Amino acid sequence: MSDARVAVGGQVEAELVITGMTCGSCAARIERRLNRLNGVSATVSYATGRACARPWTRRGTAVARRS
């Protein structure tokens, strides 16, 4: 299940529930994969089993996604 919300500054972020992680290395691997996506900045917590993803920004401006 995921939950999208508007963060401070009007930016949208998504909170994702992640199952199947068995260690901190799993969380790090998922975080690296999410951060490889064009225009995404993400953090993953093994302890909570959640990821928080938001559009990557530079000086408050969202980066346009490539098609």
Q: State the CATH number of the domain containing residue 22.
A: 3.30.70.100
Number of neighbouring beta carbons within 10 Å of residue 42:
20
Residues spanned by the domain of 27: 2-62
The structure's pTM equals 0.70
Query: What pLDDT, in 10s, does the model give residues 19-67?
Result: 999 999 999 999 999 999 988 899 999 999 999 998 876 555 555 444 4
Backbone angles phi, psi at 27, to 5 degrees: -60, -40
What is residue 66's predicted lDDT score, i.e. its pLDDT? 45
What is residue 3's predicted lDDT score, i.e. its pLDDT? 62
Task: Answer yes or no: are the C-beta atoms of 18 and 51 closer than 8 Å.
Answer: yes
> Does the residue 11 lie in any domain?
yes
Q: How many distinct structural domains can be found in the chain?
A: 1
> Does the residue 30 lie in any domain?
yes
> Does the residue 32 lie in any domain?
yes
